[in-house]
Amino acid sequence: MSDTPDTPDTPDTPDTPDTPISLETAVTELLLATGHLLRRLRTEANPSELTWSEAATLARLDRVGWMTTAELARAEAVKPQSMGSTLADLEQEGLVQRRPHPTDGRQVLFALTAEGVEARRKRSIAKREWLLAAVAKLDPAEQKALIAASAVLRRLGES
C-alpha cells in the first residue's frame, strides 16, 4: 500500500488557482479557449452567412485593396482555382468588383464594392457588440483578469 494520496497528477485533474499547472497544460487550455472564442465570434459576426474563405477574402481586400486572384490565393494559402471560385461567389453577391490589370491584360484585379465594405462593417459591429455583451456578464474580477490577459495575448501575437 502506498502513502501517496489518491489524486492523480494528470492534465485531466482540475486545477485550482493555487495549484501550479504545467506549461504544456496551460498551452493546451489557451489553444482550446482561443479557438472556442474565435469560432463563437465568427458565428456571431456572420449575419450574411459568408463562408470562412469569403470572409477572409473580404477582410484581405479591405486591408490591402485591389489584388489579383493569384495574389489573394497566395496570401490566403489556397489554390488559385479555389480563390477564383470564392471571388466568383462574392462577385455574384455584389461584394467584390473586378477591373483589368493596368499592365498585364491577362490578369484581373479585385476589390470590395460599397456593399462589400458595408458587409465588413456590419461583421465588425456584430463581433464587437457580442463581445461587449459577453464581457459585461463577467464579474468585475473576471473583467480585470481579461483586460490584463489581453496585453499578454497581444504580446504573444506580436512575437
User: Per-residue pLDDT tens for 47-74?
Assistant: 668 888 999 999 999 999 999 999 999 9
Q: Which domains are present in the chain? A: 51-130 (1.10.10.10)
pLDDT for res 16: 57
pLDDT for res 10: 46
Under 8 Å CB-to-CB from 127, ≥6 apart: which residues? 41, 44, 45
pLDDT for res 43: 82
What is the band of 8 on the pLDDT scale with cuts at 50, 70, 90? Answer: very low
What is the band of 128 on the pLDDT scale with cuts at 50, 70, 90? Answer: very high
Under 8 Å CB-to-CB from 51, ≥6 apart: which residues? 86
* DSSP structural state of residue 16: P
